[in-house]
């Protein structure tokens, strides 16, 4: 399976004051730091190599995860050393560790999806990148993807229209050469890349059937805590 980059460099402002001293990825969910659940699930799905793009309080994450061997996975780190670079800039900064196609996952997302099926869909698409999408209809957040059947017509976080029924699910696949136009150290958002790819017809889609969960807010953190606790109890 291809490697995965996990974006964990954000400031977690919606969770202040907790995240003034601890990064979101280390917030406790069902008795242990969230990133432990994430890495264990990735290993279960056959992913062997992880690049964690760290920024704010990133040294705490490396101190906890170490080389990933405890989770049956090999982990490397890419640091944003001075200024935060945005989600796109963080990946551009990590390209020396990502030399071929790779997954991208947000560090505050919990996804119930089959990664191998997503990758096979990308391989069969002939496209430059893939975005997983979910039929949202404005329920979990503001919809930002316009679809035509299984095809992405347009994705944008800023240029929304009433035809947008889906939302970015939080898992993508990208090729390194997508980032060639950006110099190292540039600050930009991954959404900018996805919008450009969708506009030029180069963005494949994979529709997730199960809703996503997140720990970016207090409500989301509490909800996921209950979900994973319940899963542990029924095992």
Contact 196, 178 (CB under 8 A): no
Q: What is the mean pLDDT of residues 190-201?
A: 94
What does the pLDDT read at residue 14?
64
What does the pLDDT read at residue 136?
84
pTM score, whole prediction? 0.92
Contact 199, 131 (CB under 8 A): no
Per-residue pLDDT tens over the stretch 6-42 = 998 665 566 666 666 788 889 989 999 999 999 999 9
What does the pLDDT read at residue 32?
92
Per-residue pLDDT tens over the stretch 150-179 = 889 999 998 989 999 999 999 999 999 999
Q: Positive or negative, the Cα torsion across 23, 29, 32, 37?
A: negative
Count the neighbouring beta carbons within 10 Å of the beta carbon of residue 49. Answer: 18
What does the pLDDT read at residue 94?
95
What does the pLDDT read at residue 57?
82
What is d(CA 178, CA 117) in angstroms, rounded to the nearest whole number? 22
What is the average pLDDT value for the chain, to the nearest integer? 90
Nearest partner of 151 among 165, 171, 137, 170, judged by Cα: 165
Report the SS3 class of residue 24: helix
What does the pLDDT read at residue 20?
67
What is d(CA 50, CA 64) in angstroms, rounded to the nearest whole number? 15
Contact 109, 176 (CB under 8 A): no
Q: What is the mean pLDDT of residues 223-231?
A: 85
Q: What is the mean pLDDT of residues 184-210?
A: 93
Contact 2, 103 (CB under 8 A): yes
Per-residue pLDDT tens over the stretch 91-134 = 999 999 998 999 999 999 999 999 999 999 999 999 999 999 99
Q: Phi first, then psi: what are they for 197, rounded to 5°?
A: -65, -40
What is d(CA 73, CA 76) in angstroms, rounded to the nearest whole number? 10
């Amino acid at each position: 399976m291809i490697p995965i980059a996990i974006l964990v460099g954000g400031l977690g402002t919606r969770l202040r004051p907790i995240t003034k001293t601890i990064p979101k990825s280390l917030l406790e969910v069902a008795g242990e730091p969230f990133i432990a659940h994430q890495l264990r699930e990735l290993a279960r799905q056959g992913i062997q190599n992880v690049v964690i793009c760290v920024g704010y309080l990133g040294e705490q994450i490396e101190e906890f995860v170490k080389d990933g061997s405890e989770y049956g996975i090999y982990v490397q780190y890419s640091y944003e050393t001075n200024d935060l670079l945005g989600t796109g800039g963080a990946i551009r900064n990590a390209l020396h560790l990502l030399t071929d196609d790779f997954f991208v996952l947000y560090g505050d997302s919990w996804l119930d999806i089959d990664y191998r099926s997503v990758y096979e869909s990308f391989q069969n698409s002939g496209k430059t990148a893939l975005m997983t999408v979910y039929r949202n209809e404005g329920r979990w957040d503001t919809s930002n993807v316009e679809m035509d059947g299984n095809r992405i017509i347009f994705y944008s976080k800023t240029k929304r229209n009433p035809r947008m029924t889906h939302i970015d699910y939080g898992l993508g696949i990208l090729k390194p050469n997508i980032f060639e136009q950006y110099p190292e150290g540039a600050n930009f958002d991954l959404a900018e890349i996805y919008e450009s790819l969708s506009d030029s017809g180069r963005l494949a889609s994979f529709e997730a059937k199960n809703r996503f969960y997140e720990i970016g807010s207090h409500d989301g953190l509490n909800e996921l805590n209950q979900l994973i606790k319940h899963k542990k109890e029924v095992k």
